[in-house]
Chains A and B, each alone.
Chain A
Amino acid sequence: MVSVARRNLFQEKTRLLISTAGVAFALLLVLSLDGVLAGSLNRITAYINNTKADGYLAQPGVRTMHMSTSALPLSKVDEVEQVAGVREVVPILYTTNPVVAGERRSLAYVIGFDPARGRGGPWELRAGSEALGPREAVLDAEAAATLDVGLGDDVLILGAPFRVRGLSAGTSTITNSVVFVRFDDFAALRRMPSTASYLLIWFADSLTPEEGVRRVAAQVGDVQAMTRSEFAGEEERVVRDMSAQIMVVMNGFGFAIGLAAVALTIYTLTLSKVREYGVLKALGAGRPWLYRAALEQAFWSVGIGAVVAVALALGLSLAFSVLVPNTPLAVEAASVLKVLMGAAAISLLSAGIPIGQIARVDPAQVFRR
C-alpha cells in the first residue's frame, strides 16, 4: 500500500530534518534531565549499594545517610552479633565535612572505616591503596583533581591534616564526594570513642535480609534496622522528593517544545499539500483513509525524533562519563519508555491539526484554477 503520508514527509528533506531535530532535542531534554537525576541517585546510593551489606542499623528514626546524623553506642555491635544468623557486624562513622586543600574546598561525606576489616571502605581505586595508616585518606579522584591534589599530598579533613593515600572512582556526585579515613582517626578527631554512626550487617546465607533485619530489630532495642535496598530506597526518596517538582516542570517543557515542533511541521506540510488532499478526496479517499494518513504522518515525524533522541541520550551518557565523570547521565529503561509514550501522545495531539485541515478540504477545489 502506498504511504502518501510518509512520502510527503520525506519529500522535503530539510523540513524533515528541522522537524526531527526539534522533536529530538525536546525529548533529549527530558531524557537528559531524567538521566542526570538517575545518575545522581546512582552515585548518592553508590556507597550503600557497594558495601554489599545485607542490613543497616541506625539511630532510631534515622532512615537515611544524606542530610542525617546518627549515633549508636559501640556496644550495639556485640548485641547484634548475638542475634542468630548474623555473620558479621561492621561499625562506620559518618559526617558531612569539607575537604580543604589550600584555598580550595570540596564538600564530602566522610566515612570512618576499619581498613583491616575490608568492609565499608572504597570499592574501586583508581590509584594508590586503601590500606590506610594513621592520618591517611582515600579521596575521590575527581574531587582530588578539583582540589589539585594527588597521591602523597596533604589535605585537611575534619579540621586535621591527612595524607592522600588512595584515589577512588565512582564516589563523587555533582555536589560532593566521599572521602574515607580510618575509624579511629575519625573517632579521635570527633571525640566519639564509643560511638558508631551506622552498623553494617552481613547475615548467613540461610537468612534473607528481610528476615535478618526483623530479627535484629526484635532482639536489639532502640535501633532503626533496614535492609540495604530499603536504606538505598529511602536515600533515593529524599533526593527525588527534593527534585520532583522541578523535574515535572522541566519534563513538561520538554514535551511541550516537542509538541510545538512537530505540530508546526505537520501544519505547514498539510498546508502545502491541501490541493493534493483534495485530489485524493476526488479519487475516492474517505475520512478514515485521510485521518489514518494524518496520524501516520504525525507518528513518523515524532517517531524518528524519538529514536534520534534516545540515540543522542546514549551518546551523551558516554560523553558525560568521559568528560564530566562526577555527573553521570544514566539513560534508564523507564525514562526511555516515558519518552516514547510521551512521543506517542504528541503524535496523537499533533495529528489533530491536519485532521481538521483535511476535513475542511473541498475536493471540488481541484477543478478551480
Chain B
Amino acid sequence: MKKQEAAGSAAAGLGSVALRAGNVSRSFGTGRTEVTAVRDVSLEVEKGEVILIMGPSGSGKTTLLLMLGALLRPTSGHIVVDGREISALTEGELPEVRARHFGFIFQDFNLLSALSVRENVEVALNLAGTKGRRARERAEALLRDLDLGDRLDFHPAQLSGGEKQRVAIARALANDPAVILADEPTANLDSHIGHEVMRLLRGIAREQGRSVIIVSHDERIKDIADRVLWLEDGEFKAMVSRALDPVCGMSVDRETAFVAEYRGQSYYFCANGCRTEFFAEPERFLSL
C-alpha cells in the first residue's frame, strides 16, 4: 500500500490520542428488564495503533464498537474523537462525524449491490461532500492502491470475498478518517485472504497513522495488534491470566477456573460439567 500522510490532525489537548472513551456504559431496557451491555469502559487509542477487542459472544464488543463509531449513544460516559466529544452531539450532527472521522469495515462487507466497485467508494466521498470528478478520481486511486484497478466497473456480486473486503477497506479510507472500526473483518474469508486483510489493516495503521479498532474472535489478528483487550460481561478484563475452556470456548480466569491435567498439560474449564465432558472425549475437543 502506498504511504499516505498520517490521518487526523493533532487536536488540541489530545496529542497523539485519536480516540478517548471515558467511563462509557450502555444499558438496554428499563427497570427489571434492564440489561447493561457495556459497563464503565474507558479506553484511549493512539494514532497509528491497532487495538483488538476480543471476548465471548454477548460480551458487549459490538455495542462498544457501535458507541465508539457514533452509531449508538452511550447511556453514560463520554467519547472524544479528534478533540470532539461525539457523545454529546445531536442526532443531526452525527452523520457528518460518521462520514469524516470514521471508516467502517463490516463482516458482511455491506457493499451496495446496485453500485459498481468505483461507485461504492465514490458514494462515501459524496456523503462527506466530495463530488464529481474529484470523488471519482479519489475512488479510483484508492481502489488501484488495493489492486482493484481492473475491477472498477464490476458489481459486488461479481467479486470474490477478498475483493469485496478490499472494496470495503477502500470505502472506509475514502474520507481520510482518523479511526477505522472493523467488525469481524476476516470472518467470511479464507485464511489466505484473511491474512491479506490483516496485512492491509496493519499497513493502514503503520503507514497512514490511522487508529484501527478491530472486534474479532480471530486469534490470528493478535499477531498484528498492538494491544489485545478482553471484554467480558461488558467490562475489560486482563487477558494475561485467562485461558479458553476447550469445551465451550468461554474465556476463564485461570485462578478461579476448574483445572485438569491431560497428557502433561493443564486445561481450564468454566464449570465442572465442561471438565466432565472433556474427559469423556478429550481428543475430540483437542482436535477443534
Contact = CB atoms under 8 A, between A and B. Distances in A.
Contacts of B171: 283
B124 A283 contact: yes
Interface stretch (A4-12, A145-153, A180-188): A4-12
A369 B135 CA distance: 31
Contact of B123 (A4, A275, A281, A364): A4
A250 interface: no
B106 interface: yes
Given A1-B132, A4-B123, A7-B119, A282 B113 contact: no
Contacts of A282: 69, 71, 98, 104
Contacts of B122: 2
B96 A1 contact: no
A61 interface: no
A363 B181 CA distance: 14
A368 B63 CA distance: 10
Contact of B110 (A10, A286, A366): A366
Contacts of A284: 95-100, 124, 127-128, 175
Contacts of B124: 283-284
Nearest to B65: A367
A1 B135 CA distance: 8
A276 B95 contact: no
Contacts of A286: 92, 95-96
B112 A279 contact: yes
Contacts of B119: 2, 7
Most buried by A among B71, B99, B106, B107: B71
A285 interface: yes
Nearest to B91: A287
A1 B126 contact: yes
Interface in B86-117: 92, 95-100, 104, 106-108, 110, 112-115
Contact of B113 (A11, A280, A283): A11
Interface string A1-30: 110100110110000000000000000000
A363 B91 CA distance: 12
A2 B115 contact: yes
A364 B71 contact: yes
Contact of A369 (B95, B108, B131, B175): B108
Interface in B112-170: 112-115, 119, 122-124, 126-128, 131-132, 135
Contacts of A367: 62, 65-66, 71, 106, 183
Contacts of A2: 115, 119, 122-123, 126
Taking residues whose C-beta sits less than 8 angstroms from the other chain, chain B's interface range is 35 or more
Most buried by A among B104, B128, B135: B104
Contacts of B66: 364, 367
Contacts of A11: 113-114
Interface string B40-66: 000000000000000000000010011
Nearest to A279: B110
Contacts of A1: 126, 131-132, 135
Nearest to A275: B110
Interface string B187-216: 000000000000000000000000000000
A283 B92 CA distance: 14
A289 B128 CA distance: 11
Interface string A330-369: 0000000000000000000000000000000001101111
Contacts of B92: 286-287
B72 interface: yes
A283 B107 contact: no
Interface in A253-278: 275-276
A287 B90 CA distance: 13
Contact of A4 (B71, B72, B100, B112): B112
A9 to B, nearest CB: 8
Contacts of B115: 2, 4, 7
B46 to A, nearest CB: 24
Given A281-B98, A284-B175, A286-B92, 13 more contacts: A1-B132, A2-B115, A2-B126, A4-B112, A7-B114, A7-B119, A280-B112, A282-B71, A282-B98, A284-B97, A284-B99, A285-B127, A366-B110
17 contacts: A1-B126, A1-B135, A2-B122, A276-B113, A279-B112, A280-B112, A281-B98, A283-B124, A283-B171, A284-B98, A284-B100, A285-B99, A287-B92, A366-B108, A367-B66, A367-B71, A367-B183
Interface of A: 1-2, 4, 7-8, 10-11, 275-276, 279-287, 289, 363-364, 366-369
